[in-house]
Amino acid sequence: MSKKWNLIVDIERCDNCRGCFIAVKDEYAGNNFPGYSAPQPALGHNWLEIKRHERGSYPLVDARFQPVMCNHCDDAPCMKAARDGAVKKRADGIVIIDPIKAKGQQQIVAACPYGAVSWNEELQLPQHWTFDAHLLDAGWTKTRAEQACPTDAFRTVKLDDAEIQRLAASEGLEVERAELGTKPRVYYKNRHLMTHCFVGGTVVQRVGGVEECAPGATVVLSQAGREIGRATTDTFGEFKIDRLPPGSGRYDLEVSGAAGRASTSFELGSASPYLEVLTLA
């Protein structure tokens, strides 16, 4: 089975430094790579962008960042929309929009459900991030994005289909909008940070008539009598339990520590709730 290129992005590691964004701009803006891509405009095109998502509310707020780009889908809608072989899928998994054949074919832009194809008005050409195919073909083993990332959020790997599926299963990797059936080759680790909710709060205890933070308390979250998750309060008595599907209904939360117990219930909507202060008694 032939090996194909895949990109793995760990959302938890991305801190929005935008080194990857700048690296892609540096590689393609104004540079022509015949057979791969025409020059990217200096303005208006972001072939790699950073999507931002905020969860929670004061004082427990979580901001996360997700690099997004062409997914190099195995069942690419842009390829189906193209005429005269203007979009091709290489044997190594990379999708190329031919910079000559694709001229004038604006329908290729509209066909991408991820918004990853841009229209170059000056050249009358649809364009996308080419997975740095010109560099990989020259012997590179990493994309420019991975090379530039100071937090190791990217991994460029060449694996056969069975290997990448095993890796996805073992590391909990997900693709964007899997329900579309496009079979992307860009995988995300810790994608729940962009799609799911968390619950958080602060636990205190009374010591000599004074309320103090309660570190080391056990927090158990359950739903319909089944444990969903648990956490231990930190030095400040704070806790957070993640990976809760938005709109998933009613939850019960119980805290136990040296000073006693506390409990509460809440209804989970689309936002990540902060349960404020829970006092052990």
The predicted model scores a pTM of: 0.93
The CA dihedral of 114, 69, 55, 149, to the nearest 10 degrees, is 170
Question: What domains are defined for the chain?
Answer: 4-193 (3.30.70.20), 197-279 (2.60.40.10)
Give the closest residue to 66 by CA, choosing from 165, 166, 192. 192
What is the distance between the alpha carbons of residues 73 and 83, in angstroms, rounded to a whole number?
A: 18
Helix (H, G, I), strand (E, B) or coil at 109: helix
The identity of residue 43, as a single letter, is L
CA distances from 224 to 150, 227, 243, 278 (A): 43, 8, 17, 21
Which token pair is 124? 């009358």
* pLDDT, one tens digit for every residue, the chain (281 residues): 799 999 999 999 999 999 999 999 999 999 999 999 999 999 989 999 999 999 999 999 999 999 999 999 999 999 999 999 999 999 999 999 999 999 999 999 999 999 999 999 999 999 999 999 999 999 999 999 999 999 999 999 999 999 999 999 999 999 999 999 999 999 999 999 999 999 999 999 998 889 999 999 999 999 999 999 999 999 999 999 999 999 999 999 999 999 999 999 999 999 999 999 999 99
Q: How far is CA 273 from the centre of its chain?
A: 22
Contact 112, 72 (CB under 8 A): no
